[in-house]
Amino acid sequence: MCPDKIIRRFAGLFILGSVAVGWLVHPAAFWFTAFVGFNLLQSSLTGFCPLERVLGRARLFACRPAPRGNR
């Protein structure tokens, strides 16, 4: 369980970073941008966010691990 602002900030940084890498280094980096967008879409539909789970297990940015049994 993480504050929504943290997840949005990470998503924004990932998108902006991958667009910059795609523009400056190699266009294949745009696939990462698409992956982040797809993950945001599926997270809004299912409620499952892999980044939230990772940050919760690491106990970073005031995130708590998800209770057992919940995905």
Q: What is the pLDDT of residues 31-68, one digit of tens each?
A: 999 999 999 999 999 988 888 888 888 887 878 877 76
- Cα–Cα dist 15/60, whole Å: 21
| 3-class secondary structure, 41 | helix
Its pTM stands at 0.76
Question: Which of 70, 57, 47, 61 lies closest to 10 in space, CA to CA?
Answer: 61
Q: In the prediction, which pLDDT does 61 show?
A: 80
The domains of the chain are located at 15-58
